[in-house]
Chain A
Amino acid sequence: MSLTLLLAGVALGAELGGGLAVVAVRDSAGAFDLRPAISTSLRAVGGGAVWGDLTLVGALPTQDEGIAWAHSQAWLRASAALGLQAGTLPARFRVFAGPAVTLQRTTWSEPQSVVVEQVLPGARYGLGLAVPVGDRGYLDGSAGGSLRGVSRDYELCLGGGLSW
């Protein structure tokens, strides 16, 4: 059953998707550390050109070590984005931006065992392509960045989902 609504002549649709991501996070030495992540999103598409979504991205923990210290860090980021899309074919080019908040958990193992949890405001932005597959499916890829407090990360997400 189609959940697409026709409201005042504007088609509203929904997409539920998820995927795998690679997140580049700057480590204490100033270099970027690539770490795997998982993303899921709920998207509302209206009017053909405008959409908005709620996205969760979770980065798996990785180690960062110095001479006399070591810690691992994992985070979960929630973002709400407003996007634009356009296409001359069923595939859609998309850009998006919006606020984000990150729950970050840092576990220090040296010089002593400490766990620090922080809630960091920020933003998330990017661009990508969404390609329909069949009647209800789609594949999408996006690249962009996000702010996690004063830290800036880069994201590359590949995934897919279902649309109504």
Chain B
Amino acid sequence: MVGAVLAMPMLAACTTLSTLDGARTLNPGQQSWTLSTGLQAGGNALSDAVSLPLPQAEVGWRKGLVDNVDVGVRVYLVGVGVDVRYRFLRSGPWHGAFAPGLGGLVLPAPSLVMGAVDLRLPVVFERELAGHSSIAFGPSVLAREGITWVSIEDMGKGATARLDVYSGGTARYRLGSDFFSVGFGGDLYLSSARRTAPVWSTGVDLRMRSRARP
């Protein structure tokens, strides 16, 4: 029981709502690191319960695989996600990318194991602006299957599962150079659950990119 209580704060941000990346994929072999922090309202059990925005922080890493395709890993409070980003559109200053990804975590505690699996389907469009800045925006769907396994002595074992589907979008402004940039933005989602308020996140990130291979 104590473990379950201790685990609840860890679940406070077990799903990040933020869409950190735009649509411009990295060149093959190029890497980037992103540090992000912000606030998130809803999208997890504790935030829903207290009806207050909660802090979120994450570290992201990406690497270009081939032209127009890169892969990313993000570690956030508290969870891990991976995605593959495919730039399907490139026309002048405009870029469009689809970045399906999976995320989640399992938190074991005495008598209780809580876990969640997220499927993310963001479609992001990005327009390059003057001075190495850009704006990015687009729709996104986030489906999360939360599962709780309970094992109580003298009462037996059981499991409950709940699917939540969030539909919304992202908008982000990025300013900096090819190798260092700052991003500001937010995400807003409506939940499939009945009688629930919109969920959102907003924050700032710092990004460093390695130089592209010649």
User: A residues engaging B (CB < 8 A)?
Assistant: 24, 30-32, 34, 86-89, 91-93, 127, 129, 141, 143, 152, 154, 156
Docked complex Cα distance between A88 and B25 (Å):
12
Number of A-B contacts (CB under 8 A): 55
The interface stretch among B13-21, B52-60, B82-90, B104-112 is B82-90
CB-CB under 8 A from B88, the residues of chain A are 86-88, 91-93
If A24-B143, A31-B163, A32-B165 are given as contacts, then 19 extra A-B residue pairs at C-beta distance below 8 Å, sorted by A number, are A30-B194, A31-B162, A34-B145, A34-B163, A87-B86, A88-B67, A88-B87, A88-B88, A89-B68, A89-B69, A89-B86, A93-B88, A93-B89, A127-B121, A141-B100, A143-B121, A152-B192, A154-B163, A154-B192
CB-CB under 8 A from A143, the residues of chain B are 119, 121, 141, 143
B199 interfacial by beta-carbon distance below 8 Å: no
CB-CB under 8 A from B39, the residues of chain A are none
Distance between A13 CB and nearest chain B CB, rounded to angstroms? 18
B98 interfacial by beta-carbon distance below 8 Å: yes
The verdict on A156 contacting B96 (CB below 8 Å), with A86-B89, A92-B88 known, is: no
B123 interfacial by beta-carbon distance below 8 Å: yes
CB-CB under 8 A from A89, the residues of chain B are 66-69, 86
* 6 A-B residue pairs with CB within 8 Å: A24-B165, A30-B194, A87-B88, A88-B88, A89-B68, A127-B123
Those of B102-132 within 8 Å (CB) of chain A: 119, 121, 123
Distance between B105 CB and nearest chain A CB, rounded to angstroms? 20
**CB distance B86 to A93 under 8 Å?**
yes
**CB distance A24 to B69 under 8 Å?**
no
Distance between B125 CB and nearest chain A CB, rounded to angstroms? 11
**CB distance B143 to A154 under 8 Å?**
yes
**CB distance A156 to B90 under 8 Å?**
no
Distance between A111 CB and nearest chain B CB, rounded to angstroms? 27
**CB distance A32 to B163 under 8 Å?**
yes
**CB distance B86 to A156 under 8 Å?**
no
CB-CB under 8 A from B68, the residues of chain A are 88-89
Those of B169-214 within 8 Å (CB) of chain A: 192-194
CB-CB under 8 A from A30, the residues of chain B are 193-194
Distance between A130 CB and nearest chain B CB, rounded to angstroms? 11
Closest 6 pairs (CB-CB, A-B): A93-B88, A32-B163, A88-B68, A86-B88, A93-B98, A87-B88
